[in-house]
Amino acid sequence: MIQLKEKFGTWAIVTGASSGIGKEFAVQLANQGLNIILLARRGNLLEELSNNLRTKYNIQVKYMAMDLTDDNFIKNIEKLADKLDIGLVISNAGGARMGAFNKIPMIDFEAMIKLNVFAQMKISHWYTSRRIKENKKGGVLLVSSTAAYQGVPYAANYSAAKAYILNLGEALNFEYKNKGINITTLVPGPTNTPGLTENPDADMISNMPMKPQPVDQLVKEGISAILKNKPSYIGGRMNRIMAGIMKTLISRKRASAFWGKMTYKMVHIK
């Protein structure tokens, strides 16, 4: 199989790299010899990860504590990536807030849209414009969710935002497929990350319809998908089966009702 370094070059950017899916992407990319720029809000965790990656994999690592809801975050990325041949971007940073729609403060909704929608759009536009100008190959992997396939009650804003990411990535895959830039949207189902087990808004882990997928397996599948330039890819066999049933055998109305019953239990913690 073609390796990432052979396909995309020597440098990658990973957002949301301090924990969970983003951290695992950083580890697996480093294991393949890529130099990495780590971005996330928690600088202390980025420093620790950076030191570990340098020591274990003998690669170059740059990092910056950064909030992607900041209107000027692209300028900061440009400074960090200046004169580097960035061949791959893992746009993983995202956030969720669950609960009854009218009870969640608007400021939280706005922050979620900035992170899950505006940030993905800005990163994708900045990177593809840069690679086209440089006349070089590249890759962008966006991270969505199986919540994107239908409206999810008590996670309405989240599912809507993840639907944007899914549609953006699939459309850009077609636009850039003949320009040497791979665009893939990774669509995780429930995944064993801190975001799943430490969510203060909901008891998610005890109300899942299936066992969460190991994060290392999800990331491995995501890397394979971007190398094959798949428009989108659902991580995990059982997640693919469940998504297939939801999309082909059940109406969108019934799919939303199915998820609504689960999320209701998650957010109404006694």
Close Cβ partners of 259 (under 8 Å, ≥ 6 residues apart): 147, 150, 152, 153, 155
Average pLDDT over residues 141-161: 94
Nearest 10 degrees: CA dihedral of 151, 152, 153, 159? -80
Contact 98, 266 (CB under 8 A): yes
Confidence band for 61, pLDDT divided at 50, 70 and 90: very high
State which amino acid sits at residue 160.
Answer: A
Average pLDDT, the chain: 90
158 is catalytic: yes
Determine if the pTM surpasses 0.85.
Answer: yes
Contact 113, 161 (CB under 8 A): yes
H runs (alpha helix) in the chain:
4-8, 20-31, 43-57, 73-81, 106-113, 119-134, 156-176, 194-197, 215-227, 237-248, 252-267
Task: Single out the catalytic residue among 127, 154, 158, 176.
Answer: 158
- pLDDT at residue number 24: 97
Q: Is the pLDDT of residue 183 over 80?
A: yes
Distance CA(157)–CA(42), nearest Å, equals 24
Domains of the chain: 8-267 (3.40.50.720)
Please give the distance of CA 13 from its chain centroid, rounded to a whole number. Answer: 12
11-52 residue pLDDT tens: 999 999 999 999 999 999 999 999 999 999 999 999 999 999
Half-sphere exposure at residue 158, Cβ-oriented, CA atoms within 13 angstroms: 20
Contact 49, 17 (CB under 8 A): yes
